[in-house]
């Protein structure tokens, strides 16, 4: 049985496998979030994306997010897989599954996980447009970390 709850893969993600990882007899709800590759962003057409990760640290940060979730919603179990490499339109880049005894925690924890992934997990997306390419998260487009570093749990007081 694959018990890797936090994973980075080059292969297409199987949603059902993540659901299986969090299934438990005490769970009354499982939420899944599937982040997919969008074709149109603000009038620009994406042809495909490439994701790159600092894999060992990305897994560590996913585990850290898992610990944060346990502290806030103790009865949940979560599994996250992020894909890297070349992804076509509509393919799943990330899948998050959360089980809990009641649905509210499963929804809340699931949203929390995707927000934190976007803040602290070292994964980068390169958009290949019809007319060029850009690393998203480029400092020309975003203020990266207003506090000098990504917000970590120990900084949140």
Partner 1 sequence: MINVLLFAQLQEEAGRDRLEVEMGETTVKELKQRLQDSFQLGRLESTMAAVNEEYARDEDTVKPGDTVAFIPPVSGG
Of the candidate residues 82, 99, 105, 112, the single one contacting partner 1 (CB under 8 A): 82
Cα 88 from chain centroid (whole Å): 17
By CB under 8 A, residue 34 contacts partner 1? no
The residue assigned the tokens 């970390």 is 145
Question: Nearer Cβ to partner 1, position 132 or 148?
Answer: 148
Give the whole-angstrom CA distance, residue 125 versus residue 55: 14
* Among residues 93, 97, 106, 109, the one that binds partner 1 under rule CB under 8 A: 93
Stretch (H or E) spanning 119: helix 103-120
Return the number of the residue (71 or 140) whose C-beta is nearest partner 1.
Answer: 140
* Alpha carbon 4 to chain centroid, angstroms: 15
Q: Are 152 and 120 in contact (CB under 8 A)?
A: yes
- Name the residue nearer to partner 1 (CB basis): 19 or 55: 55
Minimum CB separation from partner 1 for residue 129, in Å?
A: 15
| 87 phi/psi in degrees, rounded to 5 | -125, 135
Shortest Cβ 78–partner 1 spacing (Å):
15
Query: What residues make contact with partner 1 under the rule CB under 8 A?
Result: 35, 51-54, 56-58, 60, 82, 93-94, 114, 117-126, 135-139, 142, 144-145, 148-150, 152
């Amino acid at each position: 049985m694959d018990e890797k709850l936090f994973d980075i893969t080059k292969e297409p993600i199987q949603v059902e496998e993540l659901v299986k990882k969090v299934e438990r007899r005490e769970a009354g709800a499982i939420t899944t979030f599937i982040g997919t590759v969008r074709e149109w962003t603000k009038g620009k057409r994406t042809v495909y994306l490439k994701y790159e990760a600092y894999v060992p640290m990305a897994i560590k940060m996913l585990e850290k997010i898992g610990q944060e979730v346990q502290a806030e919603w103790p009865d949940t179990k979560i599994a996250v897989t992020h894909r890297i490499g070349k992804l076509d339109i509509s393919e799943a880049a990330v899948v998050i599954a959360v089980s809990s005894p009641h649905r509210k925690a499963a929804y809340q924890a699931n949203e929390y996980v995707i927000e934190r992934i976007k803040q602290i997990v070292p994964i980068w997306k390169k958009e290949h447009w019809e007319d060029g390419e850009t690393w998203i998260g480029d400092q020309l487009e975003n203020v990266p970390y207003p506090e000098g570093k990504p917000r970590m749990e120990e900084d949140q007081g």
